[in-house]
Amino acid sequence: MARALLLLPLLCLCWALGPGGARPARPNLLLLLMDDMGWGDLGAFGEPSKETPNLDQMASEGMLFLDFYTANPLCSPSRAALLTGRLPIRNGFYTTNAHARNAYTPQDIVGGIPDSELLLPELLKKAGYINKIIGKWHLGHRPQFHPLKHGFDEWFGSPNCHFGPYDNRELPNIPVYRDWEMIGRYYEDFKIDLKTGEANLTQIYLQEALDFISRQQASQQPFFLYWAIDATHAPVYASKHFLGTSQRGLYGDAVREIDDSVGKILKHLQKLGISENTFVFFTSDNGAALISAPKQGGSNGRFLCGKQTTFEGGMREPAIAWWPGHIPAGEVSHQLGNVMDLFTTSLSLAGLQPPSDRQIDGIDLLPAILQGRLIDRPIFYYRGNEMMAVRVGLYKAHYWTWSNSWEEYGKGIDFCPGQNVSGVTTHTQEEHTTLPLLFHLGRDPGEKYPLSFASAEYQGAMERISGVVQQHKETMVPGEPQLNVCDKAVMNWSPPGCEKLGKCLKPPKSDPKKCFWPH
């Protein structure tokens, strides 16, 4: 009851004027979140093969964000940040097992999204929205973390990455859910051919989206659809029709199928006559995984390094906003944006205020999207429990640098292939808190040329940045870390619904241990 009363004051009557006049009080919300797709993977962002005509058209009809970021260079924390509007260090999606380590939710993780966190779909329910997630959840797979317990009404997808196949003795294959119960497992019932890369999952996710949109249009209820597909996460896959069609190989095949699917979703909205009442945003959870490139990973364009790092390639994302009749066509924005802003912006579109009992890091992007106003705000780059860098305006200051350890690098794990920058892409954790490394991202988007410590430009920029960082750290209250403990007994041995399918597996004896996070 107290939780329900807390949410009641969030309702408000909010109207705003955009280029098309009064905007709908409760537009549909469609967030298209890709997995490990890089800033440089779309034609609209300069990819030379120009194989994304539908996403490029979406950009030409809407607004392209050139300076849009994730909240963490890894999948689970960035998704938790998107759905809570809060940095992972606040919502608990980090580890304290070692300094500045990336952590996520493999199937032996004990933790997940805490009940104390208010997720976007929970809040949207108060404005009458029906909420569906399609694809990867990744905020915990144990029963208490189920997405239908955190505001979603429907789910088709999986709690974890599509890794495998496993033998169901040492490790269980990952389940696929419809709503509350599993309906099969990857590699057993939902095939992924690791030799050819063939899988029909993107087509299944597409049809799920089209069917949901049609049902909601018929019911005249506003909807929130979170389409979180994972074809561009290694092992990369595409359906038979798209295999071998890209100049970029299998990864490009996956991107082409995603592009085709997004085109069909947008055309479906138009066919149903609801495109002007549906706000659509396309982005990715983190930068391209260069460790898997070029066959199983994408491109971060001119930016340094990739997934797992707090360099630009790990955290700057492709982003497109589309809302016919409201967003002027062909707009390009230099607004500093973050996936956490999708939380606050979505609430604003629904006529809701964000919760006032906690720190919300996401800002409302509607002034930037509808009126072209630039909002002054910093971007914080976190890796685990450490603030590694901060961007203010065009300046980015690194307080810590690290790509990965010499030990991991020696095993062939390279997050910055072909991009070694002396003193920057370090293989030991280097502290720069006394004299941060400073880059001007307008002149030097690749973070190759640190400004001289003695220059007036450095001193002027750092005077402003230091105040921002001091205020941020003074007000930071970390949440309880959720990614510290692992236990094989909590894996997907017997998910709900396994009895009906004869797919329940016997778990091993519980043996909780500290998770090991090498990066």
Q: Which amino acid is at 63?
A: M
Phi, then psi, of 259 in degrees rounded to 5: -60, -45
Contact 236, 179 (CB under 8 A): no
Question: Strands 223-228, 28-34: parallel, antiparallel or unpaired by DSSP?
Answer: parallel
Q: How many CA within 13 A on the CB side of residue 357?
A: 10
Question: Which active-site residues does the annotation give?
Answer: 75, 138
| Gap between the Cα atoms of 96 and 119, Å rounded | 24
Q: CA angle at residue 447 from 445 to 448, to 5 degrees? A: 115
| Gap between the Cα atoms of 102 and 402, Å rounded | 12
Cα end-to-end distance, the chain, whole Å: 42
Q: How many CB atoms lie within 10 A of CB 50?
A: 12
Q: Identify the CA nearest to 136 among candidates 58, 78, 90.
A: 78
What are the start-end ranges of the H helices in 241-305? 250-271
Q: Inter-axis angle of helices 250-271 and 53-61, to 10 degrees?
A: 50
Q: Quick one: tokens of 509?
A: 């004896």
Q: Inter-axis angle of helices 201-219 and 250-271, to 10 degrees?
A: 10
